[in-house]
Amino acid sequence: MRFSWSRIGATAILGLFVAASAGCTVVNKIRAKNELNETARAYKAGRFEEAENHAKRALYLDPSNPTAPIFIARIIHQQYKPGVDSPDNIQRAHEAIDAYQRVLQQNPKNDEAFKAISVLYSAIKDDQSLRAWITKRATDASQPNDKRAEAYAILAGKDWDCSYKVTEQPDVKITSTEGGSAKVTYKKTKDQKDFDAIQKCVVRGLEEAETAIKYDSNNESAWSYKTNLLLEAAKQAEMDGKADQKAQYEKQADVAGKRAGALADERRKKEEAADAAAGTPTP
């Protein structure tokens, strides 16, 4: 068989290109690692802009690097100042959220990124985006059941808070003294729309708590919020003059509360056992 010199030459050149490309990839990965080391040094020293530039350079050198995106997100997040409502600071929060979103595009199961986005939405008081974000996790069939349960429990907690903030108002929660002891009664809100709103919150919250329990029957938070939501339902029944319903809700709350308490006891025992195994005294 005869080979043409042109074909041999082309094959050799192609081989050289492949080798050179592989060599460049290795070199860029090493350079990216060095950039991330510089990122860590600058971050620890509080030089966040410098740290961010090093991390972005690392990602440029090695786009598949799994560490660089989370470093970038953490650095931007660190520059956000909680409680400061200036436009620049709010913009920084959104930049951090976008950076964490990019982390999740690469690794959808990154819990740090998911929780950080939740924290940031809460910090900038964007409740609508926060609920949408947590609902997305709750309804995502690709997520493990325990993660979906956590998300539903958080939503239940937000709906409990929706009612509790109203039922704790002084014109609703009436404290009086009878026979030397304090007595608490609940008076219906002056505006019917407010009452309707908190009823909707409790109905939705109980559905979310039940769904959380369906996905993870040992979720302590879900049982706790179920208990508290049932107590809110009892308050609302009292406001509406429905004593029988109030008694039913209180009975259900007692059952749910016992389950929540049992789960809390189990958790504490596990923590104590883990501390004992590690030789750390339990506070």
pLDDT at residue 149, rounded to an integer:
98
Q: Is residue 242 part of a domain?
A: yes
pTM score: 0.82
- Same domain (yes/no): 271, 181: yes
Q: What is the pLDDT along the chain (283 residues), one digit of tens a residue?
A: 454 545 555 555 555 444 444 456 777 788 888 888 888 898 889 898 898 898 899 888 888 888 899 999 999 999 999 999 999 999 999 999 999 999 999 999 899 999 999 999 999 999 999 999 999 999 999 999 999 999 999 999 999 999 999 999 999 999 988 777 889 999 999 999 999 999 999 999 999 999 999 999 999 999 999 999 999 999 999 999 999 999 999 999 999 999 999 999 999 999 999 888 887 555 5
End-to-end CA separation in angstroms for the chain: 83
Which amino acid is present at 227? T
- Same domain (yes/no): 101, 212: no
pLDDT at residue 43, rounded to an integer:
86
Question: Domain boundary at 105, 125, 145, which?
Answer: 125
Q: Is residue 179 part of a domain?
A: yes
Q: How far apart are CA 155 and CA 137, in angstroms?
A: 11
- Same domain (yes/no): 133, 110: no
Residues 6+ apart with CB under 8 A from 53: none
Phi, psi at 218, each rounded to 5° = -105, 20
Q: How far apart are CA 51 and CA 180, in angstroms?
A: 64
- Same domain (yes/no): 24, 153: no
- Same domain (yes/no): 156, 73: no
| Angle, CA of 89, 90 and 93, to the nearest 5° | 90
- Same domain (yes/no): 133, 269: yes
Question: Domain boundary at 125, 150, 183, which?
Answer: 125
Q: How far apart are CA 217 and CA 221, in angstroms?
A: 10
pLDDT at residue 24, rounded to an integer:
60
pLDDT at residue 259, rounded to an integer:
98
Q: 138, 155 in Cβ contact below 8 A?
A: yes
Q: Is residue 282 part of a domain?
A: no
Alpha helices in the chain (DSSP H): 5-44, 48-61, 68-79, 87-106, 111-123, 127-138, 145-167, 192-215, 220-239, 243-278
- Same domain (yes/no): 44, 144: no
Q: Is residue 109 part of a domain?
A: yes
pLDDT at residue 177, rounded to an integer:
84
- Same domain (yes/no): 111, 215: no
Domain holding 108, by residue range, is 1-125
- Same domain (yes/no): 94, 35: yes
Residue 195 CA, chain-centre distance (Å), reads 29
pLDDT at residue 123, rounded to an integer:
97
Q: How many domains does the chain have?
A: 2
H or E element at residue 175: strand 173-178
- Same domain (yes/no): 62, 25: yes
Question: Domain boundary at 125, 153, 187, which?
Answer: 125
